[in-house]
């Protein structure tokens, strides 16, 4: 099966600091797939500062998600036991702020 790319757009920042994502914070992917995080226009997010694991299991290939210009990209590991579901953190700076906030969506790997 060929690997797919899953674009996720950060659409906006809620008043409580949570993010509105185009996939509603629940990505469904397969081993070897690429996840591509985009900062949407007028989202209120200035930059992504990190995308990291939020549990013991890291679903991303080492060294993990990395910047790709203003966006970020990461690849799902090929050796995961399936099915698995893990939370991860998107850490970001809002527009006109120096404070970093983190939001914890999840990834489901089903094949």
Domains, in order of start, for the chain:
5-109 (2.60.40.420)
pLDDT of residue 2: 61
> What is the rounded end-to-end Cα distance, in angstroms, of the chain?
10
pLDDT of residue 1: 53
pLDDT of residue 88: 93
pLDDT band at 74 (very low <50, low <70, confident <90, very high): very high
> Which of 55, 97, 100, 102 minimizes the C-alpha distance to 80?
55
Q: Which two tokens stand for residue 98?
A: 């120096």
Read off φ and ψ for residue 50, nearest 5 degrees. Answer: -165, 150
CA distance 74 to 22: 17
pLDDT, tens only, 56-73: 778 999 889 999 999 999
- Decide: 106 and 87 in contact? Cβ < 8 Å: yes
| Chain CA centroid to CA 43, Å | 15
- Decide: 93 and 39 in contact? Cβ < 8 Å: no
Q: What percent of the chain has pLDDT over 70?
A: 98
pLDDT of residue 57: 77
pLDDT, tens only, 19-51: 999 999 999 999 999 999 999 999 999 999 999
């Amino acid at each position: 099966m060929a690997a797919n790319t899953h674009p996720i757009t950060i659409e906006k920042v809620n008043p409580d600091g949570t993010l509105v994502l185009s996939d509603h914070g629940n990505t469904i992917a397969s081993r070897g797939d690429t996840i591509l995080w985009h900062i949407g226009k007028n989202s209120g997010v200035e930059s992504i500062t990190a995308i990291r694991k939020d549990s013991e299991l890291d679903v991303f290939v080492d060294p993990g998600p990395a910047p790709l210009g203003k966006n970020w990209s990461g690849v799902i590991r090929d050796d995961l036991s399936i099915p698995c579901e893990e939370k991860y953190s998107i850490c970001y700076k809002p527009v006109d702020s120096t404070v970093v906030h983190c939001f914890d969506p999840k990834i489901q790997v089903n094949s």
